[in-house]
Chain A
Amino acid sequence: MELNELYRDVILDHNRKPRNFGGLEPADASVEGFNPMCGDRLTVRLRLADDTISDIRFEGQGCAISTASASLMTEAVKGKTRAEALQLFDRVHQLLTDDAATGADELGKLAALSGVREYPARVKCASLCWHTLASALRSANPQALPAVSTE
């Protein structure tokens, strides 16, 4: 395993210049995610139009993997319905943890996160934002959600 498989250019770029970074007022949901093992902390805020994520932003502090993952996530889920966003979470989670995961091509830029699975200690860095998003979607409307697959 080479380091440049983990720290791919896409990851480094999104770490250096995180997209959709900052506050969002007003927001339909705002949830803080915290990884007590490493001190990573981020807040995901989103707006829903009907059932679609019309806007999403995040802020906080974390390592390159966690910052880039959050940045890529906001790009990927904007414009998606909640069910679509949660399906995507499942597939990203598989990508991060399952060596046999397929279909990385369809994930677009998110596929850049696949290097993380060689570094088990870092999987939580990449998945923190997704767990936070799932929680935000749940808090926005607890009834209408399919089950969230977490670790």
Chain B
Amino acid sequence: MNNIALAARPASFDVDALRRQFPVLSRLVRGKPLVYLDNAASAQRPNAVIDAVNDYERHHHANIHRGVHTLSQEATALYESARDKMVDFIHARSRNEIIFVRGTTEAINLVAQSYARPLLQPGDEILITHLEHHANIVPWQMVCEQTGATLVVAPIDARGEVHFDAVAALMSPRTRLLACAHVSNALGTVLPVRRLIAAARARGIVTLIDGAQAVSHMDVDVQALDCDFYAFSGHKMYGPTGVGVLYGREQLLERMPPWQSGGEMILSVTFAKTTYNGLPNKFEAGTPNISGVVGLGAALDFLQGLDREAAHAHETALLERASAALSRIPELRIVGTAPDKASLVSFVVAGVHPHDLGTILDEDGIAIRTGHHCAMPVMEFFALPATARASFAFYNTFEEIDRLAAGVERARKIFA
């Protein structure tokens, strides 16, 4: 482990200093120091985000794009500067390609209803994979019901891996859209999205990538990926809840009708005709989550200020440490063992139901997720009702992983 420890902690990456920027990490839970290992559900916020939201609420709040008064102009500037930061962060071409939404779920629904629904004909196909989150399954099922299109599901293997060939083989002349995760929330599997997108593009298939679990673990460059849509949530990348992003290729967004209608998305309204606003406002009807967007902008500044390469290396070391420590526990099985994984471990322990394990770990101050992770088809594939999932962020430590392993051992003793 020493080699990993040395590799993971270059001088530029000081986990303890980083942890001090996240106030919640110093609290006690049930009398023990919190060990927060539920980052894939929602990551914690650094002071930079908390302070930015606080400062906005205290000093700058007004409705945006509406007023000539000072507060409205300040709020608008803060909101729109977050959009500029997002353009840089994911390497979009322009501000017109960044739509602020409530989160990944709303982003996917927007594409399903505004892009897919008007386009699809009976017999057309939407291609997804077996390890998608429900948010990347159900919106497509609804569109299929609405249009007569068919949902086609690419398989996974026993390691929870999605093979390029298996997906490519299902791309047919009727495939209109490929929608798949960048990283599986239930298993951590990283999908071969770059190759899949290239194969789809060669066949004229539009692509949507669910990046909810990816943006916090890797650098995402939507131009290098060459996807058409990329959806993600602010709260999984250390920002607030209730805000997320749909990246869309501008030519596609231009052609799509507004999804929701109301204020902000219009240029002019008479009772005879309404003229829609241009991008990106066309898709941002109503007063948005302004403070959430401001907080998300602060999260981007925070992430840009990190040595992200070192942070990712640390996360990889955490994954290796956790996989090794948990594998040593008798009767424990790691579910999802693809060679390329993000920093999370899904597992089951014979004789200990995940919910009991979750309660027992909580007693030790350790927060993990238990259940089906909104990916019931994945659970069905592995014939499991639920798993326990520990998901890591760059502020987690090796000591915390050791406490996790000790907690699992304790649970085994209770149920022995």
Contact = CB atoms under 8 A, between A and B. Distances in A.
- Classify chain B: how many residues form its interface, as a range: 10 to 19
Residue among A37, A38, A62, A122 having the largest count of chain B Cβ atoms under 10 Å: A38
A40 B386 CA distance: 9
A38 B414 contact: no
A96 interface: no
Nearest to A60: B385
**What secondary structure prevails in chain B residues at the interface with A?**
helix
A65 B356 contact: yes
A39 B386 contact: yes
A62 B352 CA distance: 10
B415 A125 contact: no
Interface in A1-40: 3, 6-7, 12, 15-16, 37-40
Contacts of B376: 39
Contacts of A117: none
Interface string B347-367: 000000111100110010000
Contacts of A140: none
Interface in B362-379: 363, 370-372, 376, 379
A39 B414 contact: no
A12 B360 contact: no
A64 B411 CA distance: 12
A64 B415 contact: yes
Contacts of B414: 3, 7, 12
Given A12-B415, A64-B415, A38 B370 contact: yes
Contact of A37 (B359, B360, B371): B371
Given A37-B371, A39-B371, A119 B385 contact: no
Contact of A38 (B363, B386, B415): B386
A130 B354 CA distance: 22
A38 B121 CA distance: 37
Interface in A52-91: 61-65
B415 A39 contact: no
Given A38-B386, A40-B385, A64 B363 contact: no
Give the contact-size bracket for chain A.
20 to 34
A112 B250 CA distance: 62
A41 interface: yes
B355 A122 contact: yes
Contacts of A41: 385
Contacts of B356: 7, 63-65
Contact of B385 (A6, A61, A122, A125): A61
Interface in A37-51: 37-41
Contacts of A37: 371
Nearest to A64: B356
Contacts of A40: 355, 385
A139 to B, nearest CB: 25
Contacts of A7: 356, 360, 414
17 contacts: A3-B360, A3-B363, A3-B414, A7-B360, A12-B414, A16-B415, A38-B370, A39-B372, A39-B385, A39-B386, A40-B385, A61-B385, A62-B353, A62-B385, A63-B353, A63-B356, A64-B415
Interface of B: 353-356, 359-360, 363, 370-372, 376, 379, 385-386, 414-415
Given A12-B414, A121-B359, 4 more contacts: A38-B355, A38-B385, A39-B386, A61-B385
